[in-house]
Chain A
Amino acid sequence: MDLLVDGFLKAARLLFSLDREVLGITLLSLQVSGTATLISLFLGISCGTAVALTAFPGRNLVVSIINAGMALPPVVVGLFVTVFLWRNGPFGFMELLYTPAAMIIAQAIIATPIVMGITLAAMQSLPSKLRLQIMALGATRMQMLWILMQEARLPLLAAVMAGFGGVISEVGASIMVGGNIKGYSRVLTTATVMETGRGNFDVAIALSIILLFFVFLINLVLTLIQQRERPR
């Protein structure tokens, strides 16, 4: 019990004293996961919409792959990104392994299928005749896509939450491709793993609280937007 109380007290001290190292780790976490989420939104929403609105042979297979991708294990992503970025690997010349950029790549790969899958479901749940109606109103293709995205904005916000939630709390891939290098590629999750391993439960608890706080804060903001917009 002492361990827990001590942990919380030390954590509070670290949080309120704005410890330099903790601050750096937090900022990097937000930066890496935020960037990865943005990339996944761009790829996921565009591809998800395209798959939802077009008919082509093998479409069901593609949809199954996307849905399976939503449960992509981070360590598998970490493994393949490592292999590709390895010194002798196909992209080894870019020297990205053990950098924040490699973490962004891995996290974007994890989040993209999540965003894509939710976008796909959201677009398919719109009435099929709505597309015809929007085109009948004189919309160009781009205008139609924009209006459809606005119509699906609530589930799309869920896609943002799921994507960001998935990557900020992910540890396997980040530790594999980022290397958990102090002051360079150490993020909240990798630091928590390391501190726990070392028996520094106080620091680990402080980092966990920060992680929980940001996950909650971002979801709170998005939820408020979503619920304000909810049709009553």
Chain B
Amino acid sequence: MPMLIVNNLRVERGGIPVLDIPHFDLEEGENLAILGPNGAGKTTFLLTLARLLKYAQGELLFKQQDISLPETAVSYRRRLAVVFQEPLLLNKTVFNNVAAGLKIRGVGRAEIENRVSRYAELVKITHLLNRDACKLSGGEAQRTNLARAFATEPELILLDEPFANLDAPSRDSLIDDLHNILRQTDTTAILATHDRLEALRLADRLAVMDGGKIVQIGDCHEVMNHPVNEVVATFVGMEAVFSGCVQAITDGSFSMSVAGHIIEALGKVCVGEQVICCIRPEHIIISYDHSMADTSVRNNLPSKIVKITPQGPFFKLHLDCGFFLASYVTQQSLENLALREGKDVTVSFKATAVHVIRRGK
């Protein structure tokens, strides 16, 4: 039985529908990412799920309990947490901010101190607890915001583009920490974002929203490789994404099996681990030579050209080697190699071109 079920949800603004979700469900322990451009309805959807926005019609069931009644709103909201893009901290110390949700729930003093210190440590802000929240940097403030959300030990956490305002280094380390916390606490989460790498790093399942609707939902591999329409494709299809199982590790590099092929890549992984890999189309070399033995290229796979689409100054080749790959070639290469749809070629890429995403166990 899914933890959260949504049926026939409609949200209107001034009589115009801004959200239309015929059905949506979320399993307990699952981490779902909602991808979509600005204005796709991601925030509206999350606010509605948190019962912070009025909706025109719909059925919301949380653990088989109807939460659409107004009198259940507060008690329902106390079972979840929402993290917004802006940290929205109170003008108090970091400690009191992390404790805010607990104080609202009337949790006792000893328990508050216990929880605050536990979650401050998880998001690495223990040294900031006595500081005024208004003196924090953007990254520190968002960490405080996360600690405040997790301190209430929510059954469900809704994250609305929590990293969008951060610089790249703070964002990277925060995503890693969030990933760890989600795994450690086994919290069910929905993350709205417009960054697909962020989504891939954190989510088990992917939903793509556009124009107030969920246009595609499924596991990451499925959505990444089989986008149902152009909007989804522009959002996720730029890169080849596939998952593989680590077979062996040798000095920093490792080999994994992907759809019957062995692929070499770099990264710290464990044998038997499932990893997700991305390769950018510009890193893929097309040839007719099956070996490329005298080069530094580690991966050579037989493949078939499925489709060729012009992309302005170059062409995009859609390749099938048991999984989906894409490559860019110039007009000249296309003519010199006489590349055509249906032709068998060899695709080559260096082990360093493979972007590996670890998925936790």
A residues contacting B by CB (< 8 A) are: 127, 129-130, 132-133, 135-140, 143, 147, 150-151, 231-232
Contact = CB atoms under 8 A, between A and B. Distances in A.
- Binding site secondary structure of chain B: mixed
Ranked nearest first, the 6 interchain pairs of A and B with the lowest CB-CB distance are A138-B78, A136-B82, A231-B134, A133-B88, A137-B101, A138-B77
A154 to B, nearest CB: 9
A143 B88 CA distance: 17
Interface in B28-44: none
Contact of A136 (B81, B90, B134): B81
Given A136-B82, A138-B74, A140-B74, A147 B134 contact: no
A151 B90 contact: yes
B173 interface: no
Contacts of A143: 104
Nearest to B92: A150
B86 interface: yes
- Binding site secondary structure of chain A: helix
B47 interface: yes
Interface of B: 47, 50, 52, 74, 77-78, 80-82, 84, 86, 88, 90-91, 100-101, 104-105, 132, 134-135, 148, 152
Contacts of B50: 136
Contacts of A132: 47, 52, 82, 84
Contact of B84 (A129, A139, A147, A150): A129
A136 B52 contact: yes
Given A133-B88, A138-B101, A139-B104, 20 more contacts: A129-B88, A130-B88, A132-B47, A132-B82, A133-B82, A135-B52, A135-B77, A136-B50, A136-B80, A137-B101, A137-B152, A138-B74, A138-B77, A138-B78, A138-B105, A138-B152, A143-B104, A147-B90, A150-B90, A150-B91
Contacts of B52: 132, 135-136
A123 to B, nearest CB: 14
Contacts of B105: 138
B150 to A, nearest CB: 12
6 contacts: A133-B84, A136-B77, A137-B77, A147-B100, A231-B134, A232-B135
Nearest to B73: A135
Contacts of B84: 129, 132-133
A137 B148 contact: yes
Contacts of A140: 74
A138 B104 contact: yes
A136 B152 CA distance: 11
Contacts of A231: 91, 132, 134-135
